[in-house]
Amino acid sequence: MNPSVKPGRVELLDAWRASAVIVMVFWHLCWDLTMYGTLPARVMFEQPMLGIRYYIICSFVLLSGISCRFSRSNARRGLQTLLCAAAVTLVMYIIGDPVWFGVLHLLGCCMLLYAWLGKYFEKLPDLPAALGCTALFLILHRICYGTYVTVPWLWMFGLRTREFYSSDYYPLFPWLFLFLTGAALGGRIRASDGAWKKVRLPAPLGWAGRHALLIYMLHQPALMGILYLVYRRFP
């Protein structure tokens, strides 16, 4: 048994999170390579990269929702995530590529909402709640991403003007409902008692799963620094 693992932690969920982290680093490496002209920009907006991007974001949102059923303080997690989101917004604004409501903003707000209202959501049967929230996510995804409004400042809720721009954009609607799908599944996972919950991971994989936020914050500066040195040496 890995002595660094907290009792009751489901390491297969850490494995899922670690896989999303690894794929995220690969996706951003490819994105950075387009900035240097090594890869054509269109690659990032075609398959398989579009599918990879959705795997990353859906994994993080679902896993964050699942984790809410195990967390001792969703309010603390939410505030910590929003502080990191504010740092991302500040840095990206200085760079000139603003992020007004990216994945960290989304997850932080979802955690805080769950901290306040989760006790009511948990009264619903887990499986019907998961199916209902998934249906709402799919319906609203189609509506929100195909609709523009003339009223500004509603972009947090998935209603944006044509002039709105955010290089990373995942609004509360529809993504809150995918988060709640994860929360409902988390209830089923917490209540289950299978041998799969006792699976242990190799230490590096488990560490990546447990420290996804740290990796998220540091991987892009690290990639950009490495690529800068490489391209400076081999222009």
pLDDT digits (tens, 9 = 90+) for 70-111: 999 999 999 999 999 999 999 999 989 999 999 999 999 999
Estimate the crossing angle of helix 203-210 against helix 11-35, to 10 degrees. Answer: 80
Judge whether residue 62 has pLDDT over 70: yes
Q: Which helix (H) or strand (E) holds 31?
A: helix 11-35
pLDDT value of position 165: 94
pLDDT value of position 9: 77
Strand partners, 148: 160
Judge whether residue 5 has pLDDT over 70: no
pLDDT value of position 206: 87
Q: Per-residue pLDDT averaged across 207-226, rounded?
A: 95
Least confident of 17-21, 27-31, 125-129, 189-193: 189-193
In the chain, what are the domain boundaries? 11-233
Judge whether residue 1 has pLDDT over 80: no
pTM above 0.85, yes or no: yes
Give percent of the chain with pLDDT exceeding 70.
Answer: 97
